[in-house]
């Protein structure tokens, strides 16, 4: 799985994933988000439009990243999850904590 990061404002970073978010790629997501936070961008948007699959390790990575962002006085939002990712979020009730947004603009439209 590949992750790219793009700045979107003074304190916002967009992290885009492409592939499968599983136990192999979850540490890479955590490290990517950590680098964004360490560079002064604690408001994170994870664009999941190209994530075809997510398992419990990926879910755990998202929760860990949310915690890291909030500890840095930021937040984490997810955008455009696939139907499989939405199902995992719903079955675990994580969609109550991390409700999906349709677009990056909707996630941090301030």
Residues 14-41 have pLDDT tens digits of 999 999 999 999 999 999 999 999 999 9
Rounded Cα distance between 44 and 14, Å, is 6
Q: Give the domains, in start order, of the chain with CATH numbers.
A: 2-102 (3.30.750.24)
Q: What is the pLDDT of residues 59-97, one digit of tens each?
A: 999 999 999 999 999 999 999 999 999 999 999 999 999
The answer for residues whose C-beta is within 8 angstroms of residue 93's C-beta and 6 or more apart is none
State pTM to two decimals.
0.93
């Amino acid at each position: 799985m590949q992750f790219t990061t793009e700045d979107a404002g003074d304190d916002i970073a967009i992290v885009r994933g492409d592939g499968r978010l599983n136990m192999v790629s979850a540490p890479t997501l955590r490290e990517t988000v950590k680098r964004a936070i360490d560079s002064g961008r604690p408001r994170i948007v994870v664009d999941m439009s190209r994530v075809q699959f997510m398992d419990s390790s990926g879910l755990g990575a998202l929760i860990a990243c949310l915690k890291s962002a909030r500890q840095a006085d930021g937040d984490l939002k997810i955008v455009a999850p696939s139907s499989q990712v939405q199902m995992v979020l719903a079955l675990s009730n994580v969609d109550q904590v991390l409700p999906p947004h349709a677009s990056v603009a909707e996630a941090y439209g301030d």
